[in-house]
Amino acid sequence: MTTLLAAAGQVHGPSVEYGSLLPILILAGGAIVTIFVSLIGGRAAQRLLTPITAIVTLVSAGVVFAVRIGEPDISILGGALALDDVSAIFDLLFVSAALCASVLVWRSDTLREAGAGEFFSLLITTVLGMAILVSATNLVTFFLGFELFSIPLYVLCAADLRRNTSLEAGLKYLLIGSLGSAVLLYGLSMIYGATGHTDYASIARAVSLPALRDDPLLLAGVALTLAGLAFKASVAPFHQWTPDVYQGAPTPVAAFMAVATKFAVIAVLLRVGMQALGPAREHWEVMVAMLATVTIFVGNIGALRQESLKRMLAYSGVAQVGYVLAGIVAGTWLGVYAIGFYLFAYLAMNIGPFAVIATRERSGAGDGMRGMRNLGREAPWLAWPMTICMLALAGLPVTAGFVGKLLLMQAAIDGHYAWLAVMIALGSAISLGYYLRVVAAIWMPSAVRDEVFGDGTRSGTSALAGAAPEADAARHPELVALAVTAAAASVLFGFYPRPLLELARILAYAGGQLIF
Amino acid sequence: MVQLLFFMAAIGAIGGALAVVLLRNPFFSVLALVVHLMALSVLFLLLHAEFLAAAQLIVYAGAVMVLYVFVVSYVGGADELLAEAGVARKLAPVFGVVLLFAFSLAIGGSALKALDTRGADLPAGFGSPAQIGELLLTRFLLPFEIASFLLTIAAVGAVLLARRRRGLEEVDDVSGDGGVV
């Protein structure tokens, strides 16, 4: 006993800097408080108090993250977490995505099925996991952060408990996601085995030694780690689960996954790829370039024949990740700069369509291409945002998507991957095929449309499309507002990209410091 | 003695893992998994990871496997085959063998170099419960806390999913105005 006490006297825990830990504490505390708030009182508490608690949590965490941008880098808890501009900017992206998802879910049936407290608590935890993931400077923290955002997402996918497709999506995501995590963990353990370290900085030092130049164990570890991350970001050929899961999952959750999980993986690629494995970049650079090419083509071609908009957006998301990977491949200041801009633009361009789909789904029209018909005439407030976001995703000039793609292509060329820039251009050309199809469905008069699509369901359309679209546009003002905001942002940052470019510059500067 | 123990444990681990995959009866598969996990814990012991070996026995071979046995006995259905063997299923063994070859090359390539050495230089007390405990309170304090939070939130998720079993409360105004407050 006395020896134990003596030993205990010698152990000094790391100093806990509560001030710097604040956003993490807000998120962790908020996740717990939200559950307790949902226990208060009756329905009013469930419907109003809980979402407000969740949104207050997210907003306050977001404010703290935003304030941190530009502050000097610090490393807290004995070097366990790095709080720099890279993590601050990505945290801001995660929080924004979660806020959009909160608006999408606010008055939906999903919230009643799953219980507001549980749903928001899981959503906040995903953000917490992602925040830890991007700040991690250690493989152990990295993996735990990874699981902390994955496991709540598996449950959230199945949150529409009454709908079998939602349960199927949850199960599929759980199985594939666990496989991805297992592959990732295997890869991480091999990296540890080869280098003998779990800290990113020590790994980078070990990797830069000539002894590990062509170490097969390290190479296998890097390959498996990439594969594990590719599962999560739905990089082809690890993307097969994506359309099924997005289609089955509740739309707010699909919207959140479509943006936030991809951002998280990109952030990890920046940190682990450039910091820990930076010295070994000639090994994985080509690997990622190949993956990017395959991803661009598989995503764009897969999206062409989709009738469900959520499936189409899933494939389009696959393709978009391919474009962003080009920035990672380039690995230069410009590459990170382009990624920074593109991710913010991507957030706006993707949330808009999901908000429109959510509105159509609530009126019983489903997420099919048919729900879009005549939208131009009947609900311009839904039709315009959808059109603008589709054009922005396709990368048409004067949209943020155009500026983003231009920057990414420039980065690829600058990083001696000109062929990858060509792939991006080719992919964008193919993508017009499906983005414009949606636009056509929205605006074309039905006679012309029947000629084009030739499916002869003209008389049945309005019945299939459910309630009148203009009515549900008025009934869901928050969704319409979100869609309009997203579309406005997609155009505004195409005209006036300076604010986003400023954020991208900060990210690129911080990213440049990561490069060993 | 150490060599003998190593080869016995290694054969047990590989044999157990093969049996898990090859046996048709899930109950036997679970038992084979127990054999595999026990053999692994012997390997951990040989690597001076006493705590890990004990944890492996108690947590995996003990607690988790009991859970598996329960699930298998509840669900049963030993003779239900999963699905028709599609093209993907026929290709799977090919990919498996290729991957096995690649990883053997990778691990062998690094491991063979270490054959004549005495292994890594470990500080005294490496892997002892005291040192692991100290690490969890100092260097890995944050991961330790995250893990506990992860368990909490997993429980919340489980409660959410378990609602389906308990029966959902009536959703009264699904077709209504979306419940404007």
DSSP A321-374: HHHHHHHHHH-SHHHHHHHHHHHHHHHHHHHHHHHHHHHHHHTT-TTBGGGGTT
Burial status of residue B122 (CB atoms within 10 A of its CB: 0-12, 13-18, 19 or more): exposed
> Which residues in chain A have Cβ-Cβ distances shorter than 8 Å to B110?
193-194, 215-217
User: What length does chain A have?
Assistant: 516
Q: Which of B106, B153, B163 sits opposite A122 (nearest CB)?
A: B153
Distance of CA A286 to the CA centre of its chain: 24
Look at A48 and B181 and tell me if their CB atoms are within 8 Å. yes
Is A19 an 8 Å CB contact of chain B? no
- How far is the C-alpha of A445 from the C-alpha of A374, rounded, in Å? 7
- How far is the C-alpha of A38 from the C-alpha of B179, rounded, in Å? 17
Look at B143 and A109 and tell me if their CB atoms are within 8 Å. no
Measured between CA atoms, how close is A219 to chain B, in angstroms? 8
- Contact criterion met (CB below 8 Å) for A90 and A136: no
Measured between CA atoms, how close is A314 to chain B, in angstroms? 23
Measured between CA atoms, how close is A362 to chain B, in angstroms? 8
* Separation in Å, CA B160 to CA A33, A35, A170, A255, B154: 17, 12, 12, 20, 10
- Contact criterion met (CB below 8 Å) for A118 and A92: no
- How far is the C-alpha of B144 from the C-alpha of B149, rounded, in Å? 9
Interface of B with A in 72-111 (CB under 8 A): 102-103, 105-107, 109-110
Three-state DSSP class for residue A138: strand
Strands in A47-206 per DSSP E: 74-76, 81-83
In single-letter form, the type of residue at position B57 comes to L
The phi, psi pair for A82, rounded to 5°, reads -105, 120
Q: Where are the alpha helices (DSSP H) in A21-84?
A: 22-39, 43-44, 50-68
**Residue in the block written with tokens 């304090």:** B141
Look at A194 and B107 and tell me if their CB atoms are within 8 Å. no
Q: Which of the residues in chain B have pLDDT under 70?
A: 76-85, 118-120, 164-181
Q: 10 Å Cβ neighbour count for B134?
A: 19
**Residue in the block written with tokens 């814990």:** B41
Q: Which of B132, B142, B170 to mutate to test the interface with A (most CBs of A within 10 A)?
A: B142
Q: What is the pTM of this model?
A: 0.89
Is B8 an 8 Å CB contact of chain A? no
Nearest CA in chain B to A221: B106
Measured between CA atoms, how close is A448 to chain B, in angstroms? 34
Is B164 an 8 Å CB contact of chain A? yes
Look at A196 and B120 and tell me if their CB atoms are within 8 Å. yes
Q: Which of A48, A128, A141 sits opposite B143 (nearest CB)?
A: A141
Q: Which of A107, A152, A162 sits opposite B179 (nearest CB)?
A: A107
Three-state DSSP class for residue B177: coil
Q: Which of A13, A159, A220 sits opposite B102 (nearest CB)?
A: A220
> Which residues in chain B have Cβ-Cβ distances shorter than 8 Å to A113?
168, 171
Look at B139 and A475 and tell me if their CB atoms are within 8 Å. no
Strands in A131-217 per DSSP E: none
So what's the pLDDT on residue A370? 81
Three-state DSSP class for residue A136: strand
**Residue in the block written with tokens 């105004």:** B173
So what's the pLDDT on residue B176? 36
Cis omega (within 30 of 0) on the bond before A23? no
pLDDT digits (tens, 9 = 90+) for B112-139: 777 777 666 777 777 788 888 888 888 8
So what's the pLDDT on residue B140? 87
Look at A47 and B179 and tell me if their CB atoms are within 8 Å. yes
The CA-based angle A300-A222-B36, given to 5 degrees, is: 110
Per-residue pLDDT of chain A (516 residues; tens, 9 = 90+): 555 555 556 667 777 778 788 888 999 999 999 988 888 877 666 678 888 888 888 888 888 888 888 777 777 777 778 888 888 999 999 999 999 999 999 888 888 888 888 899 999 999 999 999 999 988 999 999 999 999 999 999 999 888 888 999 999 999 999 999 999 999 999 999 888 888 888 898 888 888 777 788 888 889 999 999 999 999 988 888 999 999 999 999 999 999 999 999 999 998 888 888 878 888 888 889 999 999 999 999 999 988 899 999 999 999 999 999 998 888 888 889 999 999 999 999 999 999 999 988 888 777 888 888 878 888 888 899 999 999 999 988 889 999 999 999 999 998 889 999 999 999 999 999 999 999 988 888 766 655 555 544 444 444 444 456 666 667 888 899 999 999 999 999 988 888 888 888 888 888 877 764
- Contact criterion met (CB below 8 Å) for A54 and A26: no
- How far is the C-alpha of B110 from the C-alpha of B91, rounded, in Å? 29
Measured between CA atoms, how close is A117 to chain B, in angstroms? 10
Measured between CA atoms, how close is A421 to chain B, in angstroms? 32
Q: Where are the alpha helices (DSSP H) in A196-308?
A: 200-207, 216-233, 241-248, 251-256, 262-268, 281-304
What DSSP assignment string belongs to A261-285?
A: IHHHHHHHIIIIIIIISGGGHHHHH
Measured between CA atoms, how close is A40 to chain B, in angstroms? 16
Tokens of A409: 């292509």
The CA-based angle A71-A77-A81, given to 5 degrees, is: 55
> Which residues in chain A have Cβ-Cβ distances shorter than 8 Å to B149?
28, 125, 128, 148
Tokens of B37: 């996990």
> Which residues in chain A have Cβ-Cβ distances shorter than 8 Å to B134?
11
In single-letter form, the type of residue at position A13 comes to G
Distance of CA B151 to the CA centre of its chain: 16
Q: Which candidate, A106, A234, A244, A111, places its Cα nearest to that of A166?
A: A244
Q: Which candidate, B180, B102, B69, B2, places its Cα nearest to that of A477?
A: B180
Interface of B with A in 121-160 (CB under 8 A): 130, 134, 137-143, 146-147, 149-150, 152-154, 156-160
- How far is the C-alpha of A351 from the C-alpha of A252, rounded, in Å? 9
Strands in A18-168 per DSSP E: 74-76, 81-83
Tokens of A231: 């599962």
Three-state DSSP class for residue A302: helix
Q: Which of B110, B150, B171 sits opposite A151 (nearest CB)?
A: B150
So what's the pLDDT on residue A218? 87
> Which residues in chain B have Cβ-Cβ distances shorter than 8 Å to A13?
137-138, 141
> Which residues in chain B have Cβ-Cβ distances shorter than 8 Å to A11?
134, 137-138
Distance of CA A24 to the CA centre of its chain: 19
Look at B140 and A220 and tell me if their CB atoms are within 8 Å. no
Look at A78 and B153 and tell me if their CB atoms are within 8 Å. no
End-to-end CA distance of chain B: 74
- How far is the C-alpha of A105 from the C-alpha of A394, rounded, in Å? 27
In single-letter form, the type of residue at position B117 comes to T
Size of interface A-B (CB pairs under 8 A): 123
The phi, psi pair for A20, rounded to 5°, reads -75, -25
- How far is the C-alpha of A247 from the C-alpha of A258, rounded, in Å? 11
Is B180 an 8 Å CB contact of chain A? yes
Is A193 an 8 Å CB contact of chain B? yes
> Which residues in chain B have Cβ-Cβ distances shorter than 8 Å to A54?
none
Distance of CA B166 to the CA centre of its chain: 30
Is A81 an 8 Å CB contact of chain B? yes
Measured between CA atoms, how close is B90 to chain A, in angstroms? 18
Look at B156 and A216 and tell me if their CB atoms are within 8 Å. no
Residues 6+ apart with CB under 8 A from A469: A360, A363, A365, A374, A375, A378, A379, A382
DSSP 8-state symbol, A72: P
